[in-house]
Amino acid sequence: MSISYISEILPSLFQGAGLTLQLFFWTLIGSLPLGLIVSLGLTSKIRPIRWILDLYVWLMRGTPLLLQLIFVFYGLPLIGVVFQRYDAAVFAFILNYGAYFAEIFRGGLQSIDNGQYESASVLRLSYWQTVRKIVIPQVVKIVLPSVGNEVINLVKDSSLVYVIGLGDLLRAGNVATSRDVSLVPLLLVGVIYLLLVGICTYILHKVEQRYSYYK
Amino acid sequence: MLEIKNLKKSFGSRVILDNVNVTVKDREVLSIVGPSGAGKTTLLRCITGLEKADSGEFLIDGNPFDPQATDTSESVIGVVFQDFNLFPHLSVFDNIILAPTMVLKQSKKEALEDAKKLLEQLGLVGKGDLYPYQLSGGQKQRVAIARALAMKPKILCYDEPTSALDPNLRKEVEKLILGLKQDGMTQLVVTHDMDFAQNIADDILEVSSLDKLNQGTD
């Protein structure tokens, strides 16, 4: 394991890590709002909405993400919906993580005391004002640890995109390992994942601290 | 003056309130008393719009109003809940100014000035930047009162104002309610505590049991 070998393969690993990070960010940007909207629907009083969303959550949590990736990239073209590889990956990840976030947010929403809604109602706040100013800020604090778990899972789940031929961090390591018959690239891949997760953990911790101003 | 005529409310086939009449005169305190399960809280929840009455008329100063309406620019009813239901993630100031700024569209500056006056009036000077968890029960209650008053309601309603507090704070609550009365506030107090009711009320309405409601003598 020489320094020169490491510096030789690092650029390709970083390139792979770049794709991993892009996928990570776009998935979060898409799935967090999606999860929030779905969770409001899951707690809605309108039954058909709940049925449809329950079905969505069941599908997404009931099948492997790997399978979903394959269906989005290879299956949807059969009915005329064609995605580029990268877009297919982002789409499948947003749908999948949206379902998990929705369930986490639903738990958070249900733990808000009914008195909070009643207070807001007698102060004549509208539904959306109540959601925005009273409910979401409190839900965020409650769900942060669970969301953090999913965020960290996402860093590593992103490696599944190899199945539709995308070159992420793990694939870059795999390519180098089979070419050079050495485990060093995969070792480095492990270190890079650890660093990424370490940074996520640090940021999540800071966000939790920000929300610790009240009990 | 608040008048409620022929109020009826049932849950399923269970009639909770039938033919209830309530009158609260301006600048007076009406206590609604009765054993638990008699429908006091249901009555209050109908008045505050948290439950929809099956039938009945609601009049404020002779004009009909809908307790459940949210689009009116004037507030009729303010509520102080038994457990206060303050917003734990907002400071005392923000608890008070949230609704005035969002619903009444007051400017933040104006709402804060009003809030400061209310804190002064209720003996909470210097507590504005604290969060609810940093307050005692009695202070929380006064914040809840300030939050309700900031919406400039015509009537202030309390649900069991003594029950979440230390018993020796009862006198304090009496003073508070009588003080607000002197400032001209019309108040309606639901309580199971007869002594307390007698100490604060101009008028007592006894909710004894199902459809046996008689307004006390004037």
CATH of residue B201? 3.40.50.300
Model pLDDT, residue B98: 97
Share of chain B above pLDDT 70, in %: 93
Domain assignment present for residue B83? The answer is: no
Model pLDDT, residue B72: 64
B121 and B207 share one domain:
no
**Backbone phi, psi, residue A142, to 5°:** -65, -40
In this structure, of A189-193, A207-211, B61-65, the range with the lowest mean pLDDT score is B61-65
| Residue owning tokens 């202030």 | B156
**DSSP letter for each residue of B95-151:** HHHHHHHHTS---HHHHHHHHHHHHHHTT-TT-TTS-GGGS-HHHHHHHHHHHHHTT
From the list B90, B91, B112, B92, the residue with the least C-alpha distance to B101 is: B112
Domain assignment present for residue B95? The answer is: yes
Smallest Cβ–Cβ distance between A124 and the set B75, B131, B133 belongs to B75
Compute the distance between CA of residue B76 and CA of residue A142 in angstroms, rounded to an integer. 34
Structure confidence at residue B146 as a pLDDT band (50, 70, 90): very high
Compute the distance between CA of residue A102 and CA of residue B32 in angstroms, rounded to an integer. 44
Substitution target in B48, B52, B70 with the highest count of A β-carbons within 10 Å is B70
Substitution target in B74, B89, B95, B160 with the highest count of A β-carbons within 10 Å is B89
B197 and B217 share one domain:
yes
Domain assignment present for residue B111? The answer is: yes
Residue B214 pLDDT > 70, yes or no?
no
Compute the distance between CA of residue A92 and CA of residue A78 in angstroms, rounded to an integer. 16
Last residue of a domain, one of B152, B177, B198: B152
What are the structure tokens assigned to A148, written together? 């953090």
Last residue of a domain, one of B99, B130, B152: B152
B16 and B68 share one domain:
yes
Model pLDDT, residue B71: 65
Compute the distance between CA of residue B187 and CA of residue B80 in angstroms, rounded to an integer. 11
B140 and B193 share one domain:
no
Interface contact flag, A124 B79, Cβ < 8 Å: no
The range of the structural domain enclosing residue B34 comes to 1-76+153-218
Interface contact flag, B151 A123, Cβ < 8 Å: yes
Domain assignment present for residue B68? The answer is: yes
State chain B's mean pLDDT as an integer.
89
B15 touches chain A (CB under 8 A): no
Residue B122's CB is within 10 A of a number of other CB atoms, namely 19
B62 and B105 share one domain:
no
Helix residue ranges, H only, A43-71: 47-62, 65-70
B67 and B103 share one domain:
no
Whether B150 and B71 have beta carbons less than 8 Å apart is answered as: no
B162 and B140 share one domain:
no
- Set out the domains of chain A in order of their start, with CATH numbers: 3-213 (1.10.3720.10)
B40 touches chain A (CB under 8 A): no
Structure confidence at residue B73 as a pLDDT band (50, 70, 90): low
Tell me whether residue B21 is exposed, middle or buried, using C-beta atoms within 10 angstroms of its C-beta: 0 to 12, 13 to 18, 19 or more.
Answer: middle
Model pLDDT, residue A1: 60
pLDDT digits (tens, 9 = 90+) for A40-98: 999 999 999 999 999 999 999 999 999 999 999 999 999 999 999 999 999 999 999 99
Residue B217 pLDDT > 70, yes or no?
no
Whether A31 and A93 have beta carbons less than 8 Å apart is answered as: yes
Interface contact flag, B98 A214, Cβ < 8 Å: no
In this prediction, residues B35-56 reach a mean pLDDT of 89
Smallest Cβ–Cβ distance between A121 and the set B50, B98, B102 belongs to B50
Residue B209 pLDDT > 60, yes or no?
no
Contacts of B86 in chain A (CB under 8 A): 119
Domain assignment present for residue B200? The answer is: yes
All residues at 6 or more sequence positions from B203 whose CB lies less than 8 Å from its CB, including other chains: B23, B24, B25, B28, B29, B30, B31, B215, B216, B218
Contacts of B92 in chain A (CB under 8 A): none
Substitution target in A113, A123, A139 with the highest count of B β-carbons within 10 Å is A123
Model pLDDT, residue A168: 92
Compute the distance between CA of residue A28 and CA of residue A25 in angstroms, rounded to an integer. 5
**DSSP letter for each residue of B40-89:** HHHHHHHHTTSS--SEEEEEETTEE--TT----SS--EEEE-TT----TT
Contacts of B83 in chain A (CB under 8 A): 115
B46 and B60 share one domain:
yes
Comparison of pLDDT for A109 and B213, the residue scoring more: A109
Smallest Cβ–Cβ distance between A116 and the set B50, B85, B148 belongs to B85
Q: How many domains does chain B have?
A: 2
What are the structure tokens assigned to A149, written together? 């778990």
Whether B162 and B170 have beta carbons less than 8 Å apart is answered as: yes
Interface contact flag, A214 B131, Cβ < 8 Å: yes
B147 and B166 share one domain:
no
B109 and B210 share one domain:
no
Q: What pTM was computed for the model? A: 0.85
**Backbone phi, psi, residue A80, to 5°:** 90, 5
Compute the distance between CA of residue B157 and CA of residue A122 in angstroms, rounded to an integer. 11
Residue B218 pLDDT > 80, yes or no?
no
B51 and B35 share one domain:
yes
Last residue of a domain, one of B152, B185, B205: B152
B6 and B58 share one domain:
yes
In this prediction, residues B26-31 reach a mean pLDDT of 94
Residue A206 pLDDT > 80, yes or no?
yes
Structure confidence at residue B63 as a pLDDT band (50, 70, 90): confident
